[in-house]
Amino acid sequence: GQQLNQSPQSMFIQEGEDVSMNCTSSSIFNTWLWYKQDPGEGPVLLIALYKAGELTSNGRLTAQFGITRKDSFLNISASIPSDVGIYFCAGLADNNNDMRFGAGTRLTVKP
Amino acid sequence: KAGVTQTPRYLIKTRGQQVTLSCSPISGHRSVSWYQQTPGQGLQFLFEYFSETQRNKGNFPGRFSGRQFSNSRSEMNVSTLELGDSALYLCASSLGLAQETQYFGPGTRLLVL
């Protein structure tokens, strides 16, 4: 099925830097979700967004639900080594029948 | 409270064989969804079960099937395995039908030779 367009594919940053990644789609979604996946583990939900324009924070993480309902972004401020992992966006459409995922952004943080 | 558990964690099979993977949801959760994760295709939805009934199904061939038992535990089966079925199979459970509140298990990594 149609997956989401997530960018960048990978990022190599220095500890303390801010990070930004985004997801876009040609379809409208009712819910946007951001997950983090560590090696050998399943994805863990970081932030859930339910309303167009919504801006939600979870510690150093901030995510926004785009006004058009076709995009979302995730920011991580003051990155630390444990932020390393793969970040996925996911969207739930009008019928909420199944979840679509982005291909993931692999984040590497150099101490 | 224990998280979602999946067994086995790793599995090696050969082409043509069949495989059954198991998922035990978080206690009290009634919805179980299955996903396939590969480097090329990313995370793709397989199917979702709620109260022993399949609610939704992704775009996968009929070789992929699943079921849910009365205790909410779920199994998925892949018959006539192909090399391309090598993947991490993830199970996620949620209390009700809201997929956004689902919790993922660690996955079963399947290698088909």
How would you write the pLDDT of chain A (111 residues) with one tens digit per residue? 457 999 999 999 999 999 999 999 998 999 999 999 998 889 999 999 999 999 999 999 999 999 999 999 999 999 999 999 999 999 987 666 668 899 999 999 998
Token pair listed for B15 = 């082409």
* B-chain residues near A105 (CB < 8 A): none
B20-41, pLDDT tens digit by residue? 999 999 999 999 999 999 988 8
Residue B18: what pLDDT?
A: 98
Count of CB atoms within 10 A of residue A96's CB? 15
Token pair, residue A109, equals: 């943080």
For residues B66 and B54, the answer to whether their CB atoms sit within 8 Å is yes
List of chain A residues whose C-beta atoms are within 8 Å of the C-beta of residue B99:
92, 96, 98-99
- Which residues of chain A does B10 touch, with a Cβ-Cβ cutoff of 8 Å? none
Q: Of the candidates A31, A96, A103, which has its C-beta nearest B42's C-beta?
A: A103
Quick one: pLDDT at residue B26?
95
pLDDT at position B1 over 60: yes
- pLDDT at res. A97: 63
B57-71 pLDDT tens trace: 888 999 999 999 999
pLDDT number for residue B102 = 87
Greatest pairwise CA separation for chain A in angstroms = 44
Chain B residues with CB under 8 Å of a chain A CB are 4, 33, 41-45, 48, 56, 58-59, 90, 92, 97, 99-107
Cα(B91)–Cα(B88) distance, rounded to whole angstroms?
10
Chain B interface, mutation test: which of A99, A100, A106, most B Cβ atoms within 10 Å? A99
Chain B residue numbers touching A42 (CB-CB < 8 A): 4, 90, 92, 104-107
Chain segment B83-99, per-residue pLDDT in tens? 999 999 999 999 877 77
Angle at B107 between CA B103 and CA B110, to 5 degrees: 155
With tokens 């960018």, the residue in question is A7
SS (H, E, C) A24-64: ECCCCCCEEEEEEECCCCCCEEEEEECCCCCEEEECCEEEE
Q: In A, what residues contact B, Cβ < 8 A?
A: 1, 3, 31, 33, 35, 40-45, 48, 50, 88, 90, 92, 96-104
